[in-house]
Structure 1
Amino acid sequence: MSSNTQIISEAKLTELGIKAFSNLGLSVEDATQIVKVLVMADLFGLSTHGLSRIESYGERLIVNGINPKAKVTKERVAPAMVKIDGDNGVGPLVGMHALEAAMEVASECGIGIALARGSNHFGPISPYSYLAAQKGFASMIGSNATTTIAPWGGSDARLGNSPLGFGVPNPGGNPFLLDMAMSVVARAKIRNAFKAGQSIPETWGTDANGVPTSDPKAALDGFLLPIGGHKGYGLALMVDLFAGLLSNAAYLTHVKSWQDAPDEPQNLGHFFILLDTKRLGSTEWLVERMNDFAQILTASPASNPAQPVIVPGTIELNKMARQQANGIEISNETIALLESHANK
């Protein structure tokens, strides 16, 4: 633990988070849903997408860029398909409503999809994938985002760093969890490097002219670089088509800037596609295959003995187990921000 962080129990952090969001105008019920997602992000070690987000969420709630009294609604448009209107609510609140709706129809039909519109930044995907996996659902989840990436070969930002995640349950152990954005790193990592006065690898972003840079300020004024070059560009477009265009949310440059227009609704979109694995076979069948799947991978001799082969999600799930037992490491800055809202 560094001098800039402290250890706090999950229960106390949750209580503090609920009080802070309640004082920003949300009901206790809605605040609880939001904090559930963000605390799990902190448990996973994803601090850039955890309760530190109260800084940006809070700023937009205060200027009515996000609706604190959002009435999230759902419409069943087909046996296995639901449309969610988030009413410009806090992203994790809309995300939880969409997840629960997708689980409901997937329980009935074996497969379910929820398409959400009228939302905002909804945190990381892995908490949603984990919650789905705990109920026996495999998942594919995505969201669009503020434009920060140029089209492949282009010179201005026209698509977002849209996250995409997958989860597969394992009743006998840890689920498979993959949570990734379409850029080499999240913009929050570059922002943190700028705040800390540190340089960044040139593979993370470019300046405003499209030239790779190690200067985090120049990268924040420029563009993020996609994973896999033109392939990452294509994946980002597919996420935006599902999350933005098909959900009737904003897409590409129609998404309002999170920073430049904080008082205007972003109208972000999300998609949740869930598969009820209980329809495919017995619990024992899935446990055997998932454990064998993991064993095949982890049995590969490591090229670096200090870094053995792992299955995606292992680091986050191990960190969650440690922090649930010993407390969550969180920055003093985040605690101070939470307390400032909670004590108003």
Structure 2
Amino acid sequence: MSEPDDVSLSLSDLFDLARKVLLHHGLSAAHADAIARVITQGQRDECHSHGLYRLLGCVRSVLSGKVNQHAQPTIRDVSPGVLAVDAHYGFSLLAFETGLPRLAEKARSQGIAAMAINRCFHFSALWPEVEAIAAHGLVALAMNPSHSWVAPAGGTRGVFGTNPIAFAWPRAEGHPFLFDFATSAIARGDIELHAREGKSIPAHWAIDREGRATTDARAALEGAMQTFGGHKGSALAAMVELLAGALIGDLTSMESQSLDDGAGLSPCHGELVIAIDPKRFLGSEYAIGEARAERLFEAIVTQGARLPSQRRFDARTRSERDGVRVSRSLYNEIMEVFH
């Protein structure tokens, strides 16, 4: 009898699998826990390009010897409203978790605070981070460069990273208003998954080596990705390079790509995270501002539109109830890394 096409896992089994793989390859327990949590969240919310699939890239990066597997992030207070967390060339997620309590404290004290995460390897989505900040009752914004896979509008060669921007607005009831999107037409991981599965891609996602639009996922990986919205996405991508690279004293996507030197590892760069306390901004008018936001959200959904991330939240409910399903081929490939 042939094996089924996919494997069913509970969320706890998924977390345990990811953690065991990471520990097997020498990551400290603190790093393994932080990474496994985010990978589980991605798979749970059916963000497949940022779920269990990302474990393979983590392992490749660790095996390269470039990642500091036991890095202990350190915090530096820059000013009353600014802190910097040095990841010491470990993965970014433990650095974020280390700095989050201090970021929240500064935001409540000053009304707004910024955290730079420096010298980190980054592979994950940003929505788990801004959602964690929103859980503190704070408005959140996060962004980072990556590798220079993305051509500027009108160009033919990679300059920008996928350069995601994530935002979260806390709500008194239910999930926060939240979005996380790449300034590229699609996330790099989605093209990689299409290439793995032999599927074509939309022509506006990428160009080949000759600068021509392509529907071939492998040709896209060898060429350059496109920004979303033409020159508008290109301008936002440049903004991310400046704010989450030059401004915080860390690498741009081109510099990260150069450091990688063809190894194909997770990008190494920095990240900018901003937290805002609406209660400090609004003071006695906090309830008025909160109500104003809710009227905005109601005006969106009552005409049949949906709020961003609603599909993810719906998927979360299903996964928490039923567990997740992982393709058999991906599951087998992950199991092979134990050998």
Give me the TM-score of the superposition, normalised by structure 1: 0.90
Q: Distance in 1 between matches of 2:188 and 2:151?
A: 14
Superposed displacement of residue 204, structure 1: 0.9
Give me the TM-score of the superposition, normalised by structure 2: 0.91
Q: Distance in 1 between matches of 2:197 and 2:267?
A: 29
Q: Distance in 2 between matches of 1:310 and 1:163?
A: 21
1:113–1:273 contact (8 Å) kept in structure 2: yes
Q: Distance in 1 between matches of 2:254 and 2:322?
A: 44
1:117–1:244 contact (8 Å) kept in structure 2: no
Name whichever of 66-75 and 273-282 sits farther off. 273-282
State the match for 1:204 in structure 2: 205
- Give the direction of change, closer, same or farther, for the CA distance of 1:127–1:264 in structure 2 (3 Å limit): closer
RMSD: 2.3
Superposed displacement of residue 258, structure 1: 8.5
Q: Distance in 2 between matches of 1:94 and 1:337?
A: 28
- Give the direction of change, closer, same or farther, for the CA distance of 1:12–1:281 in structure 2 (3 Å limit): farther
Q: Distance in 2 between matches of 1:317 and 1:70?
A: 33
| Equivalences for residues 1-344 of structure 1 within 5 A | 3-256=4-257, 260-262=261-263, 266-279=267-280, 280=282, 288-300=291-303, 308-341=304-337
2:58–2:266 contact (8 Å) kept in structure 1: no
Displacement over 6 Å in runs of 4+ = none
- Give the direction of change, closer, same or farther, for the CA distance of 1:339–1:171 in structure 2 (3 Å limit): farther
1:6–1:330 contact (8 Å) kept in structure 2: yes
2:167–2:179 contact (8 Å) kept in structure 1: yes
Number of equivalenced pairs: 335
Q: Distance in 2 between matches of 1:68 and 1:310?
A: 41
- Give the direction of change, closer, same or farther, for the CA distance of 1:260–1:55 in structure 2 (3 Å limit): farther
1:68-103: CA deviation from partner (whole Å, max 9, x where unpaired): 111211110000101111111123223333444422
1:284-317: CA deviation from partner (whole Å, max 9, x where unpaired): 65664443222101122xxxxxxx4101121111
1:7 aligned counterpart, secondary structure: strand
Superposed displacement of residue 233, structure 1: 0.7
1:251–1:268 contact (8 Å) kept in structure 2: yes
Q: Distance in 2 between matches of 1:290 and 1:331?
A: 40
Q: Distance in 2 between matches of 1:4 and 1:67?
A: 36
- Give the direction of change, closer, same or farther, for the CA distance of 1:245–1:11 in structure 2 (3 Å limit): same
Structure 1 alignment gaps of length 5 or more: 301-307
Superposed displacement of residue 125, structure 1: 1.0
2:158 aligned counterpart, secondary structure: coil
Structure 2 alignment gaps of length 5 or more: none
Name whichever of 27-36 and 91-100 sits farther off. 91-100
Q: Distance in 1 between matches of 2:28 and 2:276?
A: 32
Q: Distance in 2 between matches of 1:264 and 1:14?
A: 22
